[in-house]
Amino acid sequence: STTGFELAAQATAKVAIPPPFSGRFWARTECYWNSTGQFNCPTGDCGTGQVSCNGAGGNPPVSLVEFTLAADPTTGNDFYDVSLVDGFNLPVSVAPSGGTGRNCTTSSCHGNVNAVCPAELAVKGADGSVIACMSACDAFHLPQYCCTGIYASPATCRPSTYSEIFKGQCPQAYSYAYDDTTSTFSCGGGANYAIVFCPSN
C-alpha cells in the first residue's frame, strides 16, 4: 500500500488497509521539489525527500486522523479520532460508512485554527501568511502543556488557554493529550472510512 501521494482538489484516492492496524493520516501542504530533486512540504513534511513517507511521521504542526483498526480482540471494534495534539495545518474530517455503534459517527475539524492562531504559535509561509499553528507543547516544551512529569494524568493535565483555542475551532478533535471524553469515536462491523481534507461546512 502507498505511504504518500498527491491529491488534487476534489480528487479521491482509495487505500486498502488490512486489520489489525494502528496509524495516522495527514495532509502536507505548500509542497515543492527543490533544486536538488528533494520533495519538501512546509507543513506536515515527513523528512524523506520523497512523496512517499515510508513509515516516517509528519512533522508538527499537523492535523492528524488517527486509527486503531480491530483494536479490541473481543469485539473487533475500530477506534478513530481527529487530533490537534501535534498542532494544526488544515481542517479535516473522518466519516464512517457501514459500521455500527452509538459512537460510530463523523469526527470533524471544520474550523480554521490558523485564522485565530496566537502569534507565539504561528508558523508562517513565504508570503507571511499563517500556514500552521503549533501546539503549546511543541512551542514551549513545558510539562503542563505536554502532559508529562507531574502532569502525566487526566487529573493533573487540564485544558490550557491555548488548547481551548483549538477546541473552540474544532470541538470534536483532541486539543491536548487527555481530551478523551469528547474526541474518541468507535465503530464495529467492518466500517469503511472517508477522510476529507478541507471539508465544507
Q: Are strands 78-83 and 185-187 parallel, antiparallel or unpaired?
A: antiparallel
Given pLDDT bands bounded at 50, 70 and 90, which one contains residue 157?
A: very high
**Residue 1's pLDDT band (boundaries 50, 70, 90)?**
low
Q: What confidence tier does 201 reach under pLDDT thresholds 50, 70, 90? A: low
Segment 64-106, tens digit of pLDDT: 999 999 977 788 899 999 999 999 999 999 999 999 999 999 9
The fold for domain 21-195 equals: Thaumatin (2.60.110)
Look at residue 182 and tell me whether its pLDDT is greater than 80.
no
Q: How many CB atoms lie within 10 A of CB 156?
A: 13
Q: How many C-beta atoms lie closer than 10 Å to residue 71's C-beta?
A: 17
Instruction: Work out the percent of the chain whose per-residue pLDDT is above 90.
Output: 89
Whether 148 shows a pLDDT value over 80: the answer reads yes
Residue extents of the structural domains in the chain: 21-195
Residue 169: per-residue pLDDT: 98
Predicted local distance difference test score (pLDDT) of residue 74: 80
Q: Which three cell numbers, joined as nine digits, stand for 37? A: 530533486
Distance separating the N- and C-terminal Cα atoms of the chain: 31
Distance separating alpha carbons of residues 162 and 117, to the nearest angstrom = 9
- The burial of 119, by beta-carbon neighbours within 10 Å (0-12 exposed, 13-18 middle, 19 or more buried), is given as exposed
What is the reported pTM?
Answer: 0.94
Query: ∠161-167-171 over CA atoms, to 5°?
Result: 155
Q: What is the pLDDT of residue 64?
A: 98
Q: Tell me which residue of 189, 192, 194, 193 sits closest to 72, measured CA to CA.
A: 189
